[in-house]
Structure formats: structure tokens, C-alpha cells
Amino acid sequence: MESEAQSGWSHFLEHLVFKGAGDMGAREIVERIEATGGSINAATGYERTSFDVRGVDGALGLSMQVLSDLVLRPTLDPVEIEREKDVVAQEIAEAFDTPDDHVFEMAQATAFFDQSLGRPILGSVESLKPVTREMISQWRAALYSPDRMVVSISGGVDEDEFLKLAEQWFGSAVASPAPEVVPAEFIGGEARMARKIEQANLVFQMVGPDAKSADMPVARLFTEILGGGMASRLFQSAREERGLAYAIDAYMEPYDDIGLIGIYAGAAAERSQELAQVCAEQVVELATGGPTEAELQRAKAVMAAGLWMADESAANRSARHATQALVYGAPVASETLVDSLEAVTAADMLRFGKELLEDGRTASAVLGPKSAIKAAKAFASTIKSHSS
């Protein structure tokens, strides 16, 4: 929903609410939580901002009050707004100075050119410079509307107490009209940046399913087999067999209306083009030949184990359930997710792979020495040669 002029405002707002909220100043916000042994944090992604508190038994009331003040009653002091612009400018500079962070921004901007989903989460110095208290207050009202907000909790809590506190601290919030959201479109292309650093950083992306797609379990298993661990095809072929990369993995990003399947690799610049071709060839081989039965069972076991182990963390359960409530309207049991993975067949994988190659669109980003720049085209051209 961020226009180019509003790029980074959601992340900026996340910073600002910690500068003062309710009757608390910046220091008191964290001191109240930490005085009980708890911790408080926040994060902004491409589609959502989250605030979380971890605390011991007895701290629920305080935690709910602090979170409510942060999202509904921030001070948004004009002096703090100007000061925080400098802080975020440093964060933007730090991200640029971190090649394996910046290359993902390059890939995202290429995949979703000139769209909200393609703009950096941090924004830019230019987009933050004109922000005033009135502008960011209006942005907060649009963003933190109660009808688009979930309060999620997990751990040693009493449900009745939680519901009463949720009504007390969030029940009087006034909803605001939902901003218009234009569905994202994967554009694709190639992004290159030559910099005098030692290693090349490579990101290759293709179109994946959106978060509500029935193909989510298939895509997750495809990604796991492709590059999810040390037994994956990418790790074995690129690193173990050829020594082309010191770091390589595949990942999946499902958004509300589109998704990405991507590969990240860090490598010596002079071998980057060969590495890009190997990455594309592994995608093609898996897409056209499908997985072996052993690969499919390994991927299912790894992903199921990951779900069960994540359930052992109250923080993970709370965060996952909040996201699921926003996306699907209700939390989804881990048993249901595991069952959906177990139901995937080799035939499903082949169908998915065929559709992936038929689409053929890619977004390639390369950041590193000049000798690595051709790697972007190498991945795209190899995939394109197998697309319809």
C-alpha cells in the first residue's frame, strides 16, 4: 500500500511509537517490561508490522497495556520524528553496506518493479524527509485499524483473563477505511551492481504461489528439495560436487496475492556465471524430472519436524497464529499443515514444476565484482530456454 512517496513509512512508524506512547516516554516503555523480566520488540515486513512482548506469569496485564499504547496512543513527538529520520538513514546506509542484504532489495525491486511490494521496507532518505506529525498520524490510523489487527497469545495464560484484557485495551479502538491495495504483479528482469568487494552475492527468483494457494504445500516441498538443507540438490551440486559457492539455499516467500521461489548464493566472482547456470539447471531438472521418492520423504520429514519443533516455542506459536488469522481468518493447526504436506505426491511436484517453467519469468540480482555481473543473464537465459 506504500506509494513511492510513502516508501518506508510503515517501518518508520514502528520506530516512532517506541519514542513515547500513552503516559510513557521511550525509556519507560522498555523499563516497564524489563522490570518484570520480560522483553519487547517489533518488526516490519513487506505486508505486516508485528509487536511482541515475552514475559513471565503475571505480566499479561502490563504487556497488553503497553502494546495497546504503542499501536493506539503513540505520542509522535515532532522532535522525535526529526531525530528518528537520522536513525533510519543510518539503518538504510547499513543495509546498503551489507551486500547480502542489499542484493535481496535489488531482486525484490526487480521482481515487483515500481510497486509497493518492490520498494525497500526501510524506504529512502527522500521518502522520509517530508514526513510530519500529521502525516504519520494519518498513516498510523490507516495502518493500525482494529479490523485489520490481531492480538495473539501463547503460553501459560488464562483465556478468560486474556479476552477481558483484549476488550479493555483494544475494544474501544475506532476502525478506519482500508487503504486501496493493488494486487502485485511479478515483472522480473535483471539487476546488476558492480562493487569493489571480495565476493559476489546472487539472488534468483521465480513466481511462486500466494499464501492462500492450494499449491503452498507443493511449493514448500519443491523449495526444500531444491535448496533447503545440506542434502538438497543445490547444496550437493553447487557446493559439495563443484565447490562453486560457500553459501547457497532456496527459499519461498508467500504474499497475500503472489509468491516467490528464490535462490541465494555467495560465491567467488569469477565462478558466478557457472554457478548461475548450475542453479538454473537444478531448477529445470527438478521441475521436469520430479523428485525421487527418498527426496520427497526427506523433505516431508524435515518440514514436519520443523513445525513440531516450532510449536515448542510459545513465541513462534503466537506469531504464526497471528499471521494465519490475518491471512486465513483463523489459526491453522500444525496437524493440518503436516497432513497437507503428507498428501503431496510426485505427480503434484511434476505438475507444479511444469507450470513453473511454463511461466518462465525470473528476477535476477547480482552484487559484487564486475566479473560476476553476467551471472544475472545466465540464470534467466537458462530458465527461458526451457519455458514455453
Nearest C-alpha neighbor of 360 from the set 152, 233, 204: 204
274 vs 276: CA distance, rounded Å: 5
Residue 251's DSSP bridge partners are 262
- What pLDDT is attached to residue 152? 96
DSSP string, 134-165: HHHHHHHHHHS-GGG------SS--HHHHHHH
Residue 204's DSSP bridge partners are 263, 364
Nearest C-alpha neighbor of 266 from the set 234, 241, 290, 297: 234
Nearest C-alpha neighbor of 225 from the set 83, 101, 350: 350
Report phi then psi at 199, rounded to 5.
-120, 160
pTM of this structure: 0.94
Three-state SS for 284-301 is HHHHHHCCCHHHHHHHHH
For domain 4-170, which architecture applies?
A: 2-Layer Sandwich (3.30)
Q: 376 and 205 in contact (C-beta within 8 Å)? A: no
DSSP string, 194-247: E-S-SEEEEEEEEEE--TT-TTHHHHHHHHHHHHSSTTSHHIIIIIIIT--EEE
Cell of 201: 552475492
What is residue 234's three-state secondary structure? helix
Task: Determine the length of the chain.
Answer: 388
Cell of 80: 522525535
Q: Residue-wise over 186-196: b if at least 16 C-beta within 10 A, else e?
A: bebebbbeeee
Long-range pairs for 164-167: beta carbons < 8 A, 24 or more residues apart: 165/60, 165/61, 165/64, 166/64
Task: Say which amino acid occupies 131.
Answer: V
The ranges of the chain with pLDDT < 70 are 388
Residue 78: how many CB atoms within 10 A of its CB? 12
- What pLDDT is attached to residue 1? 80
13 vs 64: CA distance, rounded Å: 19
Q: 195 and 367 in contact (C-beta within 8 Å)? A: yes
What are the tens digits of pLDDT across the range 194-249?
999 999 999 999 999 999 999 999 999 999 999 999 999 999 999 999 999 999 99
Q: 359 and 207 in contact (C-beta within 8 Å)? A: yes
For domain 189-384, which architecture applies?
A: 2-Layer Sandwich (3.30)
The residue extents of the domains of the chain are 4-170, 189-384
115 vs 136: CA distance, rounded Å: 21
12: Cα within 13 Å, side-chain hemisphere: 36
Question: DSSP label at 2?
Answer: -
Cell of 51: 509487536
- What pLDDT is attached to residue 388? 62
Nearest C-alpha neighbor of 22 from the set 8, 34, 32, 9: 32
Cell of 9: 513509512
Close Cβ partners of 36 (under 8 Å, ≥ 6 residues apart): 55, 56, 58, 59, 62
261: Cα within 13 Å, side-chain hemisphere: 30
